[in-house]
Amino acid sequence: NAGVTQTPKFRILKIGQSMTLQCTQDMNHNYMYWYRQDPGMGLKLIYYSVGAGITDKGEVPNGYNVSRSTTEDFPLRLELAAPSQTSVYFCASSYSRSSAIETQYFGPGTRLLVL
């Protein structure tokens, strides 16, 4: 049981380039999330998904896109990289049941540098 996995671990992008950050979970969780963490700061929610085919914006969605075609995978797309997107990106997942408090499990993160 690998939990939440993310690839790549580290990437350098030039301004204007595009890339996809991959996230996969093998816990059959229905909820998945993308966060970014800037140095010395907490996590900000970018997008989240409550199940395959359903996604919604978080606090800081501008410059990003997501899709969720399967329960396991939740890729994050950066279309036109900007220096402001330099950050560490964490994917997380949880299993949602009504009236229950569920833990979010985090992947190891992807460190992105845009130059």
Partner 1 sequence: QKEVEQNSGPLSVPEGAIASLNCTYSDRGSQSFFWYRQYSGKSPELIMFIYSNGDKEDGRFTAQLNKASQYVSLLIRDSQPSDSATYLCAAGFQGAQKLVFGQGTRLTINP
- Chain residues that interact with partner 1, rule: CB under 8 A: 31, 35, 40-45, 48, 50, 58-59, 90, 94, 96, 98-104, 106-109
Give the nearest distance from C-beta 8 to partner 1 in angstroms: 15
**Per-residue buried b or exposed e for 27-43, using 16+ beta carbons within 10 Å of the residue's own CB:** eebbbbbbbbeeeeeeb
Q: Are 41 and 109 in contact (CB under 8 A)?
A: no
Give the nearest distance from C-beta 55 to partner 1 in angstroms: 13
Give the separation between CA 64 and CA 78, rounded to whole angstroms: 5
Give the nearest distance from C-beta 46 to partner 1 in angstroms: 12
User: Please, which residue, 66 or 107, has the CB nearer to partner 1?
Assistant: 107
